[in-house]
Amino acid sequence: MNVPRPFKQGLLIVALGALFVSALSVDTALACPGCKQALADSKGGNMIAGYFWSILFMMSMPFTLLGGFSGYMYLLVRRARASAGNSAPVATSSEQPSSELETVDA
């Protein structure tokens, strides 16, 4: 895709501006959402439940990302093999080496 250079520079400036503005409102990111919700639910707060759900969420993210990436790569390989067709020769059962030892009579 050929995007004009001034458009790319303008997009970069807008993205940096949005990052700067979001950095000014850091007070909203003082705690994780699970812990904030646990404190807001009751007067004493249920911090144990908040920590439990936060830890569960943080532990699941690497597995979710790795699984999603692996699944995507698997589908790409399957599509590439399907689009290539049967161009590679496939060995038949008679061409397969046997696992049994063959004796040679002299």
Q: Which whole-number Å values give the CA distances from 37 to 27, 41, 79, in the listed order?
A: 15, 6, 44
* Mean pLDDT of all residues in 69-76: 96
The half-sphere exposure of 87 on its side-chain side, counting CA atoms within 13 A, is 6
Distance CA 37, CA 51 (A): 11
Predicted pLDDT of residue 38: 62
Please tell me which residue, 38 or 6, carries the higher pLDDT value: 6
Please tell me which residue, 14 or 50, carries the higher pLDDT value: 14
Where in the chain are the domains?
30-82
Closest CA to 33 of 11, 12, 56: 56
Distance CA 23, CA 16 (A): 10
Predicted pLDDT of residue 85: 76
Please tell me which residue, 38 or 71, carries the higher pLDDT value: 71
Whether the per-residue pLDDT at 98 is higher than 60: the answer is: no
Please tell me which residue, 5 or 56, carries the higher pLDDT value: 56
With contact defined as beta carbons under 8 Å apart, do 34 and 50 qualify?
A: yes
For the whole model, what pTM was predicted? 0.40
